[in-house]
Amino acid sequence: MKKFASSTIRLCAMVAFVLLLGSCQRPTEYPQDEWSGWRSYAGSPDSSQYSSLKQINRENVSDLEVAWTFATGSANHRSTPIVIDDVMYVVANGGVTALDAATGEQKWFAADSVAPSVRGLAYWRSDDGVDQRLLVTKDHYLQALDATTGDLVSSFGNNGRVDLRVGLGRDPETITRIASRTPGRVFENLLIVGSAMGDETYDAPPGDIRAYDVRSGELVWTFHTIPHPAEPGYETWPPEAWKTVGAANAWSTMSVDEQRGIIYVPTGAPSYHFFGGDRAGDNLYANSLIALDARTGKRLWHFQAIHHDVWDYDLALAPKLLTVKRNGKEIDAVALAGKHGFLFVFDRVTGEPVFPIEERPVPQSDVPGEYTSPTQPFPVVVPPFARLTLTENDLSPYADPAEKNALAQRIRLARNDGLFTPPSFQGSVSAPGSRGGAQHGNGAVIPNAGLFYLAVVESPTIPKLELRRTLTAEYYLNSGASEIYASSCKMCHGARGEGRPPLFPNIAGIADRLADGDFLAVVKQGRGRMAALPNIPDSQIPALLNYVDQLDGAHSAAEQNTVSDVSDVSDENLRYRSGYHHFFTQNGLLGAPPWSNLVAYDLNEGKILWQKPYGDVSQLAEKGIVGTGSLFPTNSLTATAGGLLFSTTRDRKIRAWDRETGEVLWSADLPADPGGIPAIYQVKGRQYVVATATRGNSEQHAYVAFTLSREIQ
């Protein structure tokens, strides 16, 4: 298979040149500077997660106190508020709520108006300020709400809704999930959206990038991430892949250079994540940073960070726009951090690497029918931010001895050839792991200083391929509950329903927590990381629920110490599958702590300035064991001009770090696990920091706003 030339970057210099000559003026409806408010998800359209406010700074941050709280109900979500003028818009209590940003008092509530799992909202207003809209997703619909009342805008789409299943080249009735939980990006009068389709399956729809007219809901342009015939990149897939292969989707946050009219799109892996025998080739534009003309959807340049992904190494973190100084020259750059621990930096106009990148040989698959790329891109100067290997000598010192021995045996049995070891039948060590490295919402930059801060997750996994039949309705109809569980649930939830919390819950005894109708809805439609299983007949659901309810939930790492039986591969309905195989001990994760780190980069020089453990694990901290790093932080970091980094972690803490040294200057307890990115804004002369404490088993989910005491002002 022919590989793209030495760098994987494709330039459209002519288009870029035209853009530079005719670059539009920055939209005029927001008079404040780009980073002084919190008008967009991640703070601003460039996804910098940065605030230029500095009323709260190193000298006075210890005087922060709670200004107000707003209860959100017990439902789990990861939404980040946005603030327009003096109004805050949040997801709460199953709908969208408008709050007074200074007091937390409710202005209006639109019940049942949004999917409870969404990460935030998009906002648009007309040039005259009369028409103001919130763009939200619910089920497979994109909806427009009047930002002054919460009512559906009937002139948008079909009575306020656009069906996102339409226009993907697949039968809409077969698409069970498509709307992304991450809000799209507003540019001028367009809303540009990605998708999230339960892409852990073979039959996921394609991950097209689409732009809709904010006023009418009409589709304006589409970019095919799995190229159609005659489109660039088509030759990197099998000829019919655009009709059958799915995903390569942008479920994470996109970033916009408003001055130049460029949107930067990070994409994920193609389906199926851990086996690509039906998609031989490099698979553009999966796992790529794609620079598109925001008005037309035309590709300007791209960089593919992973060729033919079989590790689920999605680009989960938003591309970060910042300015760096190299050899006496200022470069408007875009920084891209991946799950696999690498950080790449490009000129955001031309796509040229700011620091060298080279293709290096990597381990090859031994799975029949698989194709793996002979090389992958490696940054030459910028050091990796995560651990890229795992051996039995790297196991957690806090694990139970029997548990630790079982995990050590699992590692010894697995294929372990370093980074990019492909999935195999005996299991393959994957570090940092598919839930490791750079995760959603965990990066912030100082845009004009070339500084990049990243909360890094360490979560090695050992995915193991097994043979699985094509799970048709007929297969399910003729199978017992135990077989259905083994084929469709065991890989993530374990043989005994023990799960792998906090990512995959323990589902033993689930009937006490989930009614029959709710169980059916989760199975048929999916929820969170769980893909939908629409082929399971309704008649089989009661038996499956009864089977799951009787599982004992016992944890046993030893049960993973087997090699898959792949002696019979003659059945054409057999496909390879793997669970995520996150290995959790009773006191943390498989590898040794810290399980998360806060890493500071100077991208003017391409070097790490400092790194610190990122929070703690509550159960260990109660025993006096600290400095372990929090488990699986996401949506957790914001930088400020006041010299601070604000973070929220699963030990139910909000912290303020000195961004120059990594010293913690202040912390406060939160009533529940955090969900969204810390939001920073100023209203009536007072600066606020808002934490979203909306996850975990707590009845006290809330938005919590902090400010300086009035005596300090």
- Summarised one tens digit per residue, pLDDT across range 277-320 is 999 999 999 999 999 999 999 999 999 999 999 999 999 999 99
Alpha-carbon span 281 to 66, nearest angstrom:
54
Of the ranges 282-291, 483-492, 573-582, 611-620, which is most confident? 282-291
**pLDDT at site 17:** 37
> Closest Cα to residue 487, out of 413, 166, 495?
495
**pLDDT at site 24:** 37
Q: Is 467 helix (H, G, I), strand (E, B) or coil?
A: strand
Alpha-carbon span 23 to 260, nearest angstrom:
5
Alpha-carbon span 196 to 477, nearest angstrom:
28
Decide if 555 contacts 586 (C-beta within 8 A): yes
Question: What confidence tier does 546 reach under pLDDT thresholds 50, 70, 90?
Answer: confident
The whole-number average pLDDT for the span 134-146 is 96
What phi and psi values does residue 619 have, to the nearest 5 degrees?
Answer: -60, -35
**Mean pLDDT score of the chain:** 87
Question: What confidence tier does 170 reach under pLDDT thresholds 50, 70, 90?
Answer: very high
What phi and psi values does residue 53 have, to the nearest 5 degrees?
Answer: -75, 145
Q: In this model, does residue 399 exceed pLDDT 90? A: no
Decide if 70 contacts 61 (C-beta within 8 A): no
Question: What confidence tier does 30 reach under pLDDT thresholds 50, 70, 90?
Answer: very low
> Closest Cα to residue 617, out of 638, 583, 586, 646?
586
Question: Which is more confidently placed, 116 or 306?
Answer: 306
DSSP 506-534: --TTGGGTS-HHHHHHHHHH-BTTBPP-T
Alpha-carbon span 592 to 570, nearest angstrom:
42
C-alpha to C-alpha distances, 284 to 194, 226, 317, 365, 379, nearest whole angstrom: 16, 7, 19, 20, 20
- The tally of CA atoms less than 13 A away on the side-chain side of residue 64 is 26
Cis peptide before 81 (omega within 30 of 0): no
**pLDDT at site 403:** 84
DSSP 387-432: -----GGGB-TTS-HHHHHHHHHHHHHSB--STTPPPBTT-B-BSS
Q: Which domains does the chain have, with CATH numbers?
A: 119-273+276-301 (2.40.128.630), 466-577 (1.10.760.10)
- Summarised one tens digit per residue, pLDDT across range 226-275 is 999 999 999 999 999 999 999 999 999 999 999 999 999 999 999 999 99
Alpha-carbon span 193 to 260, nearest angstrom:
19
Place of tokens 């209860």: 71
pTM, to two decimals = 0.87
- The tally of CA atoms less than 13 A away on the side-chain side of residue 688 is 28
